[in-house]
Amino acid sequence: MFSRKPQETTFLTVVTYGRTGSTALQAALNSLPGVLVRGENYAALRGLQQYVQSVAETADRHHNGLPTHPWYGSKKLDPAAVIEDLRRHVVENLLRPEKDTTVLGFKEVRYEPGHFEHYELLLSYLLFLNTLFPGITYIINVRDPQEAARSGWWPNHGDPVAALTQTRDWLVSAHEDLNSILGEGRAVLLHYEDWQGNAPALIGSFKALYLPGNDAGVRAALSQQLDHGSHGHDESQVDESQVDENGSREPR
C-alpha cells in the first residue's frame, strides 16, 4: 500500500490510547527512511470534520443566489475545494513534511469514551481522515487494558480499566470496519504485547505494510528511553535489566 512512486506522498495515522507504547512506535516509524510521523495534536482534525460537514450541508441549500435568501451564498460553495485547501493547510502547517518525506502522518491517543460519545462517532472521524487524506493507512495499536491502566497516566480517572477496555474494543471494531468499508489492508492491528521488546516483530509488521526498511533503526528506536513530559513520571525510568537480547527496552 506504500509501493507508489517515490515522489508521491502517502499518509498514515497511528490510532491508539495512552500507555500502549505509541511513542516508541512513533519513534520506530520515524527511523524508516522517508517516513515522518508527527506526534499528538489534541485531535485537532476533529474540528475540521465538523467544518467540512457544515460546509457540505450549507452547499446543499443552494436554492437561489438572492441576497435576501436565508442561505445566500451557499450556491457557490464547493466542499471538494474546501477539503483540498484544508489538506494543504494541515500538511504545510501541522505535519510539515521534509524534503525527503514520502510517507507522512501523525499519531493520536484521544480515542477514549471521554473524547467520543459512542463508537459511530469514532468510526465517522476515522473515515473523515480518509476524506482528508485519500488512501491513508491506519496503524491501530492496542494493549491489555489492565496493564495500560497501571500507568500513572491515569491517576485521576475514576475507572481507567473500564474506559480502556471500551477503547480497545472500539479500536478492534474499527480495524474490522475500516477494512470492510475501505478495502482490506487499509487498517492494520498491532498488539503491544506482541512487539514490545521484540524488534523483529515490529520490523515484520512494517515490511508487511511495504514501508521502507531500516532494521537497525527500529532496534535503536525501541531501545531508547523516551520522554513523555509531565505525565511520564512513573514509567520514564528503564534500567538495563529491561533490555532484551535484541537490544529492546519496554517501550512507553
Condensed to tens digits (0 to 9), the pLDDT of residues 199-222 reads 999 999 999 999 999 999 999 999
Nine cell digits for residue 58: 450549507
- What confidence score (pLDDT) does residue 227 get? 62
Instruction: Tell me the percentage of the chain whose pLDDT exceeds 90.
Output: 75
Condensed to tens digits (0 to 9), the pLDDT of residues 74-111 reads 888 999 999 999 999 999 999 999 999 999 999 999 99
Instruction: Tell me the percentage of the chain whose pLDDT exceeds 70.
Output: 83
- Model confidence at 70, pLDDT cuts 50, 70, 90, reads confident
Please give the backbone phi and psi of residue 140, each rounded to the nearest 5 degrees, phi first: -95, 120
CA–CA dist 77, 71 (Å, integer): 11
Instruction: Kindly state whether residue 15 falls inside one of the protein's structural domains.
Output: yes
Higher-confidence position of 148 and 249? 148
- What confidence score (pLDDT) does residue 20 get? 95
Higher-confidence position of 237 and 23? 23
Please give the average per-residue pLDDT across 43-53, as a whole number. 97
Residue 31 is classified by DSSP as T
pLDDT above 60 (res 193): yes
- Model confidence at 31, pLDDT cuts 50, 70, 90, reads very high
- What confidence score (pLDDT) does residue 153 get? 65
Instruction: Kindly state whether residue 86 falls inside one of the protein's structural domains.
Output: yes
Instruction: Return the CATH number at 15.
Output: 3.40.50.300
Q: What is the model's pTM?
A: 0.86
Give the type of residue at 246.
N
Contacts 24+ apart (CB under 8 A), 216-219: 217/28, 217/31, 217/32, 218/28, 218/31, 218/32, 219/246, 219/247, 219/248
Condensed to tens digits (0 to 9), the pLDDT of residues 1-22 reads 554 444 589 999 999 999 999 9
Please give the backbone phi and psi of residue 232, each rounded to the nearest 5 degrees, phi first: -100, 20
Please give the average per-residue pLDDT across 126-141, as a whole number. 98
Instruction: Kindly state whether residue 249 falls inside one of the protein's structural domains.
Output: no
Task: Give the mean pLDDT of the chain.
Answer: 87
CA–CA dist 109, 20 (Å, integer): 9
21: left (phi over 0), alpha (psi -120 to 50) or beta: left
Please give the average per-residue pLDDT across 18-47, as a whole number. 97
Of 205, 211, 166, give the one whose Cα is nearest residue 188: 205
- Model confidence at 152, pLDDT cuts 50, 70, 90, reads low
93-97, 242-246, 248-252: segment of lowest average pLDDT: 242-246
Residue 148 is classified by DSSP as H
Domain count for the chain: 1
- Full residue range of the structural domain in which residue 219 is found: 10-242
Instruction: Kindly state whether residue 17 falls inside one of the protein's structural domains.
Output: yes
- What confidence score (pLDDT) does residue 7 get? 55
CA–CA dist 53, 140 (Å, integer): 25
- What confidence score (pLDDT) does residue 105 get? 98
Instruction: Kindly state whether residue 4 falls inside one of the protein's structural domains.
Output: no
Q: Are 163 and 114 in contact (CB under 8 A)?
A: yes
Instruction: Kindly state whether residue 71 falls inside one of the protein's structural domains.
Output: yes
102-116, 126-140, 146-160, 215-229: segment of lowest average pLDDT: 146-160
Please give the backbone phi and psi of residue 53, each rounded to the nearest 5 degrees, phi first: -60, -40
Instruction: Kindly state whether residue 196 falls inside one of the protein's structural domains.
Output: yes
CA–CA dist 36, 219 (Å, integer): 17
- Cβ-Cβ contacts under 8 Å for 106 (sequence gap 6 or more): 13, 14, 37, 38, 39, 40, 41, 94, 95
CA–CA dist 197, 242 (Å, integer): 8
Instruction: Kindly state whether residue 250 falls inside one of the protein's structural domains.
Output: no
- Cβ-Cβ contacts under 8 Å for 221 (sequence gap 6 or more): 24, 27, 28, 30, 31
Nine cell digits for residue 147: 496493564
